[in-house]
Amino acid sequence: MYRLKNDYYYANKALKGNMMTSTCPIIFKQIDATVTRVSSVYILLFVVLFLTTSQIFFIYFAAMDFLMRLYFLKQYSLIYQLSIATKKVFSLKTYMADAGAKRLAAGFGLFFMLLLIAEYHLRLDILLFVTTAVFLLCGLLETFFGYCIGCKVYFVIKKIYPDFME
């Protein structure tokens, strides 16, 4: 019983002071949220480069990086390494956050990248721009305001499928 109370205490403590809510998945593993936000900036940059150049390479690269960080060793991710270096160069403070919400956001990011790749190859240009705009909006909200749309979507999915991500 003490373990459950202790975990609940730390989960609530981790949620205070940022825009995450109790609807975010909690896995009780802390990660550097500053590095994650810097990674978001690089991903957003790749999406903007795609929009301005129409080179699908940028989206493929972002998708491969999401795959690397989600399912393989994140130390081999170029964007992760760039984010760590950027954090050091600019002497950014370390803010720890629960890895569950960040992992969920990366999963949604990978989904968006795969969707963009499919829409590009199927020549669904209008849908491609709408999807890109939604992704950019979600990314900007998370990067600059700490507001996670993914957590809101997670809450809705949990209402429909209670065993989701368990």
Residues 82-98: pLDDT tens digits? 999 999 999 888 888 77
Question: And the tokens for 18?
Answer: 């940022």
Domain count, the chain: 1
Which residue has tokens 């160069």? Answer: 89
Range of the domain at 44: 33-160
Whether residue 8 lies inside any domain: the answer is no
Whether residue 154 lies inside any domain: the answer is yes
Q: What is the pLDDT of residues 121-164, one digit of tens each?
A: 999 999 999 999 999 999 999 888 878 787 777 777 778 877 76
Residue 93, C-beta contacts closer than 8 angstroms, at least 6 positions apart: 34
Contact 26, 100 (CB under 8 A): yes
Which residue has tokens 């992704």? Answer: 135
DSSP H or E run through 31: strand 30-32
Whether residue 104 lies inside any domain: the answer is yes
pTM greater than 0.85 (yes/no): no
CA 155 centroid distance within chain: 16
Whether residue 46 lies inside any domain: the answer is yes
